[in-house]
Amino acid sequence: MLAPSTIVSAVTDLFTGIPETHPHEAKELMAAGSLMVDIREADEWEEVRIPGAEFKPLSEINDWHEGLPRDRTVILQCRSGNRSAMATSALIRQAGMDNVVNLAGGIIAWHQAGLPIDLDPLPH
C-alpha cells in the first residue's frame, strides 16, 4: 500500500509544470484573440458562464480536442480549475498541444476577481 505522502506526491506531479493564467490575465488574453473553452458539463454551463467562452464538455473531449486552434492560446476553464488542469495536462502530454493553459481557480476565481459572468437562462 502506498503511504499518504506518496499519493499526495503522485497527484502533485500530475499538475507540475501545467501552464496557468489568472483571471485578469485571461481576460486580456481573450481580448487579444485567445479562446476560452468552458469544459464543465451542460447543467453547469446553463447556470453560469464566462462571456465569450465556448462550451465543450470534458466528457466529450475526445470528440472536440482535435478541432482546437493551434495558432492561438486556448484557455481551459471549469468551476475551480481542477478539471481544466487535468484536461490541460492531457492535451499537452497526450495530444502534443503547446498552446493550452489552465484558468487557475476556474469560474469561481473569475467571479471573485470581479470579472463579468453571464447568468441569463439559455434558450432550450
**Catalytic residue IDs:** 78
Q: Cell triple for residue 68?
A: 482546437
33: left (phi over 0), alpha (psi -120 to 50) or beta: left
Helix (H) or strand (E) holding 102: strand 100-103
Helix (H) or strand (E) holding 54: strand 54-55
